[in-house]
Amino acid sequence: MELTNTRPADLAELEELIGALGTVATDEASRKAALRDFSWVSPVITHTIPRRTPRAVVRPTSVEGVQVVARWAHERGVPVVPRGRGTSNYGQSVSLVEGLVLDLTGLTGPPVEAPDLDHDGEHEFVRVPAGTRFDDLTDALLPLGRELASFPTTLNSTVAGWVAGGSGGVGGLEFGLNHEGVVRELTVVGVDGDSTPHVVRWPDTAPHTHAYGTTGVIVSVGLRVVPARPWTSLFASVPDLDTGAALALDLLGLDPLPRVLAVTEADLAALFPEDPGVEAGVVNVRVQLTEGSVAGATTLVEQHGGRVTSVRTDANRLLATLVNNHTTLRAKAARPELFHVLVRGEAIVGRRALVEEVYPGASLQLEGGRVDGRASLTGRILAPFVSDDAVRAGMRRLAAEGIEVDDPHTWVCHTHLAARWPWALRMDPQGLLNPGKLAPLG
């Protein structure tokens, strides 16, 4: 399945076929750039992922261009790695074979000025091409009195990049993760000899989310929208992590639910940009909530012995960059020796001593997240890296203690396989889409 015997003339043939519908880059700089992502946040992946430089990077500018590439790849048995922008931190879109990287960031269509709103009988959604950036889309929805139900913390991500590479985002506490109905519609193209675009609607969208492009090339996305609401950001200080965890659980009782919620230990918060809401030396709590919920949240903070340090709307975008892997990236920029482990659910609450025992020198951030279909807490543990074996042993120990571990040190999709594999076989019978990224069944 590799292009090891492909002649330059073969890629020239592809370039001629795609014509004005895209470009084919074979220069070394483009090919090397397609190998880079943010998987350096994981020293385990950095040491072990078997990267292979693609032979070409193809950048279609239309669905027709994607179809040309898909038909050509199917005829020649050439692997294709779809790639968007953003939310790719763990090697999901890094080539493991010498094939093509299909860069979909050029599938933007006309400027997003009048978004295509639709309704599927249950929810309203907006339909946009795969390469649409979230910052453009969110700005375009505001004049319509709409906002995305959920969106990534990296706002220059493209919609297909987020849907294929990410699991959820800002707003997910209230409306769910991508596989829980945020993604209402997808159009996917298969490397199946036909390359006819297939329109897939919820709930059949679920197997394609967070699947790394292994179930089809996503060329358009329909994302749920809701009436826009006035949001603001509240910062608070509390004396210790357990107090912050108890406060966070109470904040999850707000109606509507927060869009962002995080509790960060002092040494980790010290690595954030200087901000009047982040008080040095104490545990920092951050919550993005509706303006009507500020009074209730303030009362909760005070009941837990904390104090509100700042409330302001101009911090809304900042708060989205102080959770998820943005925290990991900020921490590693200051302390490159760190690695991270993710845990899910409230079993982490009150287990700080265990975390320190398992990973000496650890820091912890608790975040609002979805666990088993409901709003809960997740944990982000950052600690000095010793070895791959020590990381794995620590995850096993946490799991043995009843804490659910979400292993971030893998580039393989290993969830919901029973639902994903039928689509993969249907859309990609030769196994050419992002080979090595979908775990086998059983």
| Cα 251 from Cα 298, distance rounded (Å) | 10
Do 174 and 197 belong to one domain?
yes
Do 222 and 236 belong to one domain?
no
Do 161 and 96 belong to one domain?
no
Quote the number of domains for the chain: 3
Do 196 and 251 belong to one domain?
no
Q: Is residue 295 part of a domain?
A: yes
Q: Is residue 244 part of a domain?
A: yes
Going by the DSSP 8-state scheme, the letter that residue 177 receives in this structure is -
| pLDDT tens across the length of the chain (442 residues) | 444 445 566 899 999 999 999 999 999 999 999 999 999 999 999 989 999 999 999 999 999 999 999 999 999 999 999 999 876 579 999 999 999 999 999 999 877 777 889 999 999 999 999 999 999 999 999 999 999 999 999 989 999 999 999 889 999 999 999 999 999 999 999 999 999 999 999 999 999 999 999 999 999 999 999 999 999 999 999 999 999 999 999 999 999 999 999 999 999 999 999 999 999 999 999 999 999 999 999 999 999 999 999 999 999 999 999 999 999 999 999 999 999 999 999 999 999 999 999 999 999 999 999 999 999 999 999 999 999 999 999 999 999 999 999 999 999 999 999 999 999 999 999 999 999 999 999 7
State the pLDDT at residue 192.
96
| DSSP H or E segment with residue 423 | helix 417-427
Do 23 and 80 belong to one domain?
yes
Do 341 and 305 belong to one domain?
yes
State the pLDDT at residue 145.
96
Tokens 């849907």 label which residue? 163
Do 250 and 177 belong to one domain?
no
**What tokens were used for 27?**
């220069």
Q: Write down which residue in 103, 128, 152 finishes a domain.
A: 103
| Cα 210 from Cα 413, distance rounded (Å) | 8
Q: What is the 3-state secondary structure (H, E, C) of 123-145?
A: CEEEEEECCCEHHHHHHHHHHHC
Planar angle of CA 56, 96, 200, nearest 5 degrees: 80
Do 279 and 220 belong to one domain?
no
Packing angle between helix 63-76 and helix 8-18, nearest 10 degrees? 150
Q: Are strands 100-103 and 80-83 parallel, antiparallel or unpaired?
A: parallel
Q: Is residue 440 part of a domain?
A: no
| DSSP H or E segment with residue 146 | strand 146-148
CA-closest candidate to residue 166, choices 118, 126, 134, 139: 134
Q: Write down which residue in 103, 138, 173 finishes a domain.
A: 103
Do 97 and 124 belong to one domain?
no
State the pLDDT at residue 114.
76
Q: How far is CA 372 from the centre of its chain?
A: 18
Burial group, residue 262, by CB count within 10 angstroms (0-12, 13-18, 19+): buried
Burial group, residue 34, by CB count within 10 angstroms (0-12, 13-18, 19+): buried
Do 380 and 396 belong to one domain?
yes
Look up the pTM and report it: 0.95
Q: Is residue 268 part of a domain?
A: yes
State the pLDDT at residue 7.
58
Q: Is residue 431 part of a domain?
A: no
CATH number of the structural domain spanning residue 391: 3.40.462.10
| Amino acid identity for residue 410 in this structure | T
Do 320 and 351 belong to one domain?
yes
Tokens 């483009």 label which residue? 30
On whether the CB atoms of residues 339 and 391 are closer than 8 A, the answer is: yes
- Where b means 16+ CB within 10 Å and e means fewer, 187-211 reads bbbbbbeebebbebebeebbbbbbb
CATH number of the structural domain spanning residue 81: 3.30.43.10
Q: Is residue 438 part of a domain?
A: no
Domain enclosing residue 189, as ranges? 116-228
Q: Is 105 helix (H, G, I), strand (E, B) or coil?
A: coil
CATH number of the structural domain spanning residue 123: 3.30.465.10
Q: Is residue 423 part of a domain?
A: no
| Cα 177 from Cα 415, distance rounded (Å) | 14
Q: Is residue 110 part of a domain?
A: no
Do 66 and 146 belong to one domain?
no
